[in-house]
Amino acid sequence: MKKLLLIVIISFAMLRLNAQHDNLYSQYMFNGLLLNPAYAGSNDVLSATIVNRNQWVGFDGAPKTSTFSLHTPLKNKKLNVGILFINDQYGITTQNVINGVFAYRLFFKKSSLSFGLQAGVNFTRNSWNSIQTTTPGDIVFTNQYSQQNLPQTGFGIYYKAQKFYAGISSPDLLSIGLANTVYRSALLTAGYLINVSDDIKIKPSVLVKYIKDSPVEVDINANIYFKAFGIGYSYRTNDAMVFLVTCNITKQFIVGFSYDYTISNLKTFVRGSDEIMLRYDFGYKINPQSPRYF
């Protein structure tokens, strides 16, 4: 088991050095800025969201991700800005990402179309002295740490109507390394709101993720809302079944929790994953385009 853990930790480190670690979120449908910069300002209010995720609970060195996002429309509502902070720890690696976001919205009678850009820096640190080997003083790990500061940029398009949204994006379009520029990922999202009654709503959604040199991943989700409460279920291909619950403490404050039940080969070694989400919308608008659901 120790040898297996060492192999996994080293693999994580090499993944970061060559292709970067891709963050995973189960409650992406409540904070589209994590996936698409064009989402900025789409709630028509100043919106702040905190997400904390523990991936593969019970597995040493598994990813732990904390994010904070803030986005808002400006006085000219066609112009929208935001900021995104991500702290990610996995294996011997810690990365801190800071992105500034800008989105331009075109308004139609009952919908809008946004184009978004984000740019920032990924500060990555590898603590090599954290690795325990069977050879004391192994010269391969004599350096205590190494650090890389990599610029990032992303692009997205986001369409939103009263009962439907769709977007396509690449949050990390370019990763500029020491020797080359690498194409990263492409994400496709969509969701629809079904009004069963005044008190019951159903929102199916989907996330399709393509990452270079990896299989396409599909996340199919459905959330049911009963006034202030919501429950949901997701299936993520070849990875997990996800159970979600949300509660609107007020019209402006929403709390969410999700639990991933692992169905991949890792299920023998882990106890799933959990994620907590807090979102607050400042200056609540009287007739927003379903901010609680989108």
User: Which domains are seen in the chain, by residue range?
Assistant: 2-282 (2.40.160.40)
> Mean pLDDT over residues 191-210, rounded?
93
Using left for φ > 0, alpha for ψ between -120 and 50, and beta otherwise, residue 220 falls in beta
Least confident of 102-111, 120-129, 226-235: 120-129
End-to-end CA distance of the chain: 43
The pLDDT assigned to 8 comes to 41
Taking 80 as the threshold, does the pLDDT of residue 9 lie above it?
A: no
Helix (H) or strand (E) holding 4: helix 2-18
Q: What is the pLDDT of residue 265?
A: 81
Task: Give the C-alpha separation, 201 to 184, whole Å.
Answer: 35
Could you tell me which residue, 91 or 122, shows the higher pLDDT? 122
Indicate yes or no: pTM above 0.75: yes
- Residue whose tokens read 């120790």: 2
Contacts (Cβ under 8 Å, ≥6 apart) of 77: 41, 44, 105, 107
- pLDDT tens track for 109-150: 989 999 999 999 999 888 766 666 666 666 665 567 778 888
How large is the average pLDDT for residues 249-278?
89
Residue 24's H or E segment, with its range, is none
Do residues 62 and 56 touch, judged by C-beta distance below 8 A?
yes
Top pLDDT among 265 and 139 is at: 265
- Predicted local distance difference test score (pLDDT) of residue 284: 61
Q: What is the per-residue pLDDT for 3?
A: 40
- Residue 178 confidence (pLDDT) above 60: no
pLDDT of amino acid 285: 58
pLDDT band at 97 (very low <50, low <70, confident <90, very high): very high
Q: How far apart are CA 292 and CA 294, in angstroms?
A: 6
Q: Is the pLDDT of residue 104 over 70?
A: yes
